[in-house]
Amino acid sequence: MPSSSVSELNQDLGLKFARLALGHVRRPYPFKLDQVLAGDEDVKPPRELHPIFHGSFDWHSCVHGYWLLARLYRRLPIEPAGLEIANLFNEMLTPDKVAGELAYLQRPTSAGFERPYGWAWLLMLSAELERIEGQPWAANLRPLAQAFADRFKAFLPKATYPIRTGTHYSTAFALTLAHEYANEVGDHELVRLVETTARGWYLGDAGANAWEPSGDDFLSPTLMEAECLRRVLPSADFRAWFSRFLPEAAERRPASLFTPATVSDRSDGKIAHLDGLNLSRAWCWRSIAKSLALTDPARRVALAAADEHLAAGLEHVAGDYMGEHWLATFALLALEA
């Protein structure tokens, strides 16, 4: 994969990422279901349960594989991969297949399906498709996106506490992506709900200890919270909050946030998450740095930390399927931050 010196998205890298995703979004097995069985009739192959998102090892990875392809299709001339992406979307993002995904979602036993990580990624995919002009894909997916937006609207008011983790259950990550979607499509109700929830959960936090990473983190609980609030607060308010939340950032403390994670076995799906942690930290550090004042010494340190984490993660995007089916998504987030 790319040299660790790469720090920006380019055509060559985009083509490599597109080839990776095109190679796994329709790969049927191995596949890990997120399913509660109501009876024998629920035991079916993934392609029957999920007419669109039945590749990439699991549903949510398939969804954000499609997001990566949509993003690259819009952002870069990556022919002939661009034509392959369009053909894939024309075949898969159809009203009847969206209806099949909705049917699975509406089963009584699917209330907690992919909450909140898959919910958020489906909305991000929808937002990206909305930015592509002249194609029916966004319109076709809207019923499914609306269903997940409605789930956020029903869930967040009763979610008394955030989930402070570095895995799929992270509420900070979910709010971050849902906020981007809501702003893109003009869902003002969801925008207000996300912002109110994020403020209530995180605004009082200060002096983060950053006891991380855990052994299968692919998100930083600390930095993801900061990135979430960066999205919902005015710049001045965010800078004031960040100075309280990580008051010693300019001194590279807590040290754990500035030290790339060590990955001992990339064939172990959980341990391989740590490559994603390095990439998602690079994404967060870059984004946070750009919101800090030019004179803030933490800005320079944050940018350096982003470079270190990106270098540690980027060269491992391909090589073993346990990482290959999802890591390019987080590499793209980092490169475009």
Q: Is the pLDDT score of 2 beyond 60?
A: no
Cα separation values, 191 from 177, 179, 311, 332, Å: 11, 6, 34, 24
Percent of the chain at pLDDT above 90?
A: 97
Give residue 6's pLDDT: 72
Q: Name the nearest CA neighbour of 244 among 205, 211, 281.
A: 205
Q: For the chain, give percent helix, strand, coil, nearest 5.
A: 65, 0, 35
148: CB partners within 8 A, 6+ apart: 119, 122, 123
Q: Is the pLDDT score of 9 beyond 60?
A: yes
Tell me the per-residue pLDDT of 180-189, one tens digit each, with 9 for 90 and over. 999 999 999 9
Local structure of 32: helix, strand or coil: strand
Across the strands, what pairs with 58?
A: 32
Length of the chain in residues, anyone? Answer: 337
Local structure of 18: helix, strand or coil: helix
Q: Is 278 exposed, middle or buried (0-12, 13-18, 19+ CB in 10 A)?
A: buried
Give residue 258's pLDDT: 98
Token code pair at residue 83: 């034509």
Token code pair at residue 9: 């998205």
Tell me the per-residue pLDDT of 216-233, one tens digit each, with 9 for 90 and over. 999 999 999 999 999 999
Cα separation values, 222 from 157, 209, 213, 271, 285, Å: 23, 8, 10, 19, 11
Local structure of 131: helix, strand or coil: coil
Rounded to 10 deg, the angle between the 11-24 and 59-75 helix axes is 150
Tell me the per-residue pLDDT of 151-179, one tens digit each, with 9 for 90 and over. 999 999 999 999 999 999 999 999 999 99
Q: Is the pLDDT score of 32 beyond 80?
A: yes
The whole-model pTM stands at: 0.97
Tell me the per-residue pLDDT of 131-151, one tens digit each, with 9 for 90 and over. 999 999 999 999 999 999 999
- Phi, psi dihedrals of residue 32, rounded to the nearest 5°: -110, 115
Q: Is the pLDDT score of 252 beyond 60?
A: yes
Q: Is the pLDDT score of 251 beyond 90?
A: yes
Give residue 7's pLDDT: 83
Tell me the per-residue pLDDT of 75-122, one tens digit each, with 9 for 90 and over. 999 899 999 999 999 999 999 999 999 999 999 999 999 999 999 999
Give residue 1's pLDDT: 58
- Distance from C-alpha of 337 to C-alpha of 8, rounded to nearest angstrom: 9
Q: Is the pLDDT score of 43 beyond 70?
A: yes
- Distance from C-alpha of 189 to C-alpha of 260, rounded to nearest angstrom: 38
Q: Is 6 exposed, middle or buried (0-12, 13-18, 19+ CB in 10 A)?
A: middle
Mean pLDDT of the chain: 97
Kindly give the residue spans of alpha helices, DSSP state H, lying in 42-187: 46-49, 59-75, 81-92, 95-105, 117-130, 137-155, 171-185
- Distance from C-alpha of 257 to C-alpha of 265, rounded to nearest angstrom: 21
